[in-house]
Amino acid sequence: MSHAPTRRSILLGGAAVASVLLAPGGHTQSPSTPNIRRGVPQGPMATAKPYAITQHGQTRIDPYHWLRDPDWRGVINNPSSLDAEIRAHLEAENAYTKTVLLDPTAQLRDTLYEELKGKLKEDDSSVPQRDGSYAYATRFRAGGQYPTLYRLRVNPTTGEPDGEERILIDGDTEAQGEAFWRLQGWEQSPDHSTLAYFVDLEGGNKSTLRFRNAATGEDMKVRIEGTSAELVWAPDSRTCFYTLLNDNFRTAKVMRHVIGEDAADDTLIFEEQDPAFEMSIYKTSSGAYLMIHRAESESSDVHYLPLASPRSKPRRFTAYRPGVEYRPDHHDKDFYILNNSNGATDYKVSRTPTRRPSARHWKDYIAHEPGRFIEDIFLFKNRMVLTQKVDALPRLVVRDIPTGVDHTLSFEEEAYDLSVLRGFEWNTNSLRFTYNSPSTPAETYDYDMSARTRVLRKAQEIPSGHDKADYIVRRVVAVASDGARIPLTILHHRSTRIDGTAPALLYGYGSYGISTAASFSTVRLPLVDRGLVYCLAHVRGGQERGRDWYFDGKLMNKQNTFSDFARAAEALVEQGFAARGKIVIEGRSAGGLLVGAVMNQRPELFAGVIGTVAFVDVITTISDAELPLTPPEWTEWGDPIRNKEAFSYMASYSPYDNVSNKAYPPLLAQTALSDSQVTYWEPAKWVARLRAVAPDAGPYFLHVNMDAGHGGASGRFDRLRELAEGQAFALWCLGKA
């Protein structure tokens, strides 16, 4: 996704690209024939170096295995260490993309970038969040790339933050001289004296933990490398707990650190031994307990430690039970547990005394109700707030704990998104949440849970102007061949004719139970303002329709995700929202798998494909236990190492392994060199194979950000340029560039 500077050679209309595509050693060759479909040069051809992989008695030949650097861990930590031959090929790919796509669309990309920038309030800030005598907030300065974290004194009489301001972290200043800088997270100590914060300088989600004196702004000498961005303070404001990554970038250890002591003396309190489990830590809403949460995709295991005794050892919450997922929180003398025990597929809430956390003592507090998916619970001194999904729409339910009386907040649009901002305070009647829809910019409310009234604290500003009445939001359904009803959220401009002639962009994800929110995004508006219909497909593999919706799109049901997405495209045509052959599809990460698989299976449906950090080399990746995400992925995709049936099923849809000589639409594959989650070589190999096997289709573009990771560029304006690149490609595919 980077814009690596390269020498130009623009020769459209059938001529070959000049020597910019040549690489040392002959492993990247200048194309001899143009791409027939677009009349543009075909692109650099990677030399095939056959590499045999044998599993379950079957041998696959991977001709582009060599694009994986033997020291890939070192590359993630230090991109400059990339093998010279591989670097030459990636730079040739970037040069081709620049020459054939980026340069000819430069004016359009600049226009799109200015539109996107114009919709961004440059000096935006968050609503200050109170924590006792202070309130914390972030803001950007006009022209600044990175956030500033600051705090204000709270007026003890009014309860409003109107006192002295102190800047805690100035991102623009601290990012100076860094190729990549990202503030990954921060946590203030209970007494507000110390700020713990995490900075990523590589883009691979491996952070450095630092501690700052909040009064002086000076960092302490201790710097702890190789952390994930998680930290929990104990009430003493001296002891904290954090997590360390192992060599494979997996969270592996929970450590205890005491302010003022050498980090070399930090104490290991828990170590993850099973690579199939992902580990995280959190503090209960009451602040009383540290929770160590271990999970694979369908099972949980929790250990806990009372923070009032930070030197105690963590204890197991209850005996591990395969297939049972649970997440405890604490209130007064009880634990409240969100869980799926005893067939509660869409979850229930149980309660048990703190002295008896074992599951045999759990009692139903909020019973399971099929079709009402309880996503999360938030506890306050007198209230419980539940976020739910019912028929693919979010709900907020407030329960008065002393009386057990519930009430539900109401919203009127056809499709919308809600988020709870938990905040720092325990004894409060105020619930802060955000509301938005594809046409309604984000609105931040404080809701009085006693009076049942809401106050608008902030409405997202669009400096270039935005009238929600100019946009139409629809929620429609595509019916799958097995009768499943696939929700589609549609956004279009009021002036766009919905008569089967409009172009469209279709976005999907559909994995890990992650739901695609029907949210507002200024990023979509430049396309919608140009007459495109924007559609979010809520396909199986997410949880929009509850946990069964997820189960129907994973493991041996994964094909449902792909067929749902194809049906979504067909439904857009059938219902008059889009013209046949004028649909561009987009997916990111596992969404890249989605668009890659559907591109193989139904290429005739699409005018173009955008795959960002695309997970496309499925079998090889999920067969490599050394890669960061692989062992936890076996419960999501299957284990192709030990299970022949899983291997064969994955082989049937893996995008890289199913490339054939078809009339593929144009493809833009964006990736990043320091990505530890979806490694750069997956999209690089994908593009190489497409170009070799189906040379007359496409064309296929690969753009590699040589300085970033899974999240792309770290600066907000740099990120907008990457987004403008994808939008320009979509318009180019539709003949609108």
**SS3 state of residue 559:** helix
C-alpha–C-alpha distance, residues 703 and 1, integer Å? 5
User: Which two three-digit tokens encode residue 428?
Assistant: 């409060």
Exactly one of 675, 703, 707, 714 is catalytic; name it: 675
Q: How far is CA 21 from CA 47, 65, 162, 430, 714, in A?
A: 13, 20, 59, 60, 29
Q: How far is CA 20 from CA 42, 300, 522, 668, in A?
A: 13, 52, 36, 20
C-alpha–C-alpha distance, residues 408 and 403, integer Å? 16
Q: With beta carbons less than 8 A apart as the criterion, state whether 651 and 53 touch.
A: no
Q: Give one DSSP letter per residue of 623-654, joined into a string.
A: T-TTSTTHHHHHHHH--TTT-HHHHHHHHHH-
Q: With beta carbons less than 8 A apart as the criterion, state whether 387 and 375 touch.
A: yes
With CA atoms as reference, report the closest residue to 284 among 217, 163, 368, 379.
379
* Amino acid residing at 614: A
User: Which two three-digit tokens encode residue 419?
Assistant: 């988020």
C-alpha–C-alpha distance, residues 581 and 572, integer Å? 11
Q: How far is CA 727 from CA 520, 581, 721, 722, in A?
A: 17, 18, 10, 9
Exactly one of 341, 589, 654, 674 is catalytic; name it: 589
C-alpha–C-alpha distance, residues 90 and 97, integer Å? 11
Q: With beta carbons less than 8 A apart as the criterion, state whether 288 and 335 touch.
A: no
Give the position of tokens 């409060």.
428
> What is the rounded end-to-end Cα distance, in angstroms, of the chain?
20
User: Which two three-digit tokens encode residue 199?
Assistant: 């900075």
C-alpha–C-alpha distance, residues 100 and 41, integer Å? 8
With CA atoms as reference, report the closest residue to 212 among 269, 150, 264.
150
Exactly one of 89, 293, 330, 710 is catalytic; name it: 710
* Amino acid residing at 102: L
Q: List strands edge to edge, sheet with 161-170.
A: 129-131, 134-139, 148-154, 161-170
User: Which two three-digit tokens encode residue 36?
Assistant: 């027939």
With CA atoms as reference, report the closest residue to 528 among 502, 563, 548.
502
How many Cβ atoms sit within 10 Å of the Cβ of residue 644? 12
Q: Which residues are bridge partners to 419 per DSSP?
A: 434
Q: With beta carbons less than 8 A apart as the criterion, state whether 282 and 232 touch.
A: yes
Q: Which residues are bridge partners to 152 per DSSP?
A: 135, 165
User: From start to end of 104-250, where are the E strands?
Assistant: 129-131, 134-139, 148-154, 161-170, 182-188, 194-200, 207-213, 219-233, 239-245
Quote the Cα angle for 538-539-540, to 5°.
130
C-alpha–C-alpha distance, residues 333 and 351, integer Å? 10
**β-strand pairing of 453-459 with 608-612:** unpaired
Q: With beta carbons less than 8 A apart as the criterion, state whether 369 and 384 touch.
A: no
With CA atoms as reference, report the closest residue to 169 among 144, 186, 192, 190.
186
Q: How crowded is the C-beta side of 644, counted as CA atoms within 13 Å? A: 5
Q: Is the peptide bond between 322 and the residue preceding it cis, with omega within 30 degrees of 0?
A: no
Which phi and psi angles does 223 have, rounded to 5°? -135, 125
Residue 675: active-site member: yes
Q: With beta carbons less than 8 A apart as the criterion, state whether 683 and 613 touch.
A: yes
Residue 400: active-site member: no
Residue 710: active-site member: yes
With CA atoms as reference, report the closest residue to 29 among 37, 38, 17, 40.
17
Positions marked catalytic: 589, 675, 710
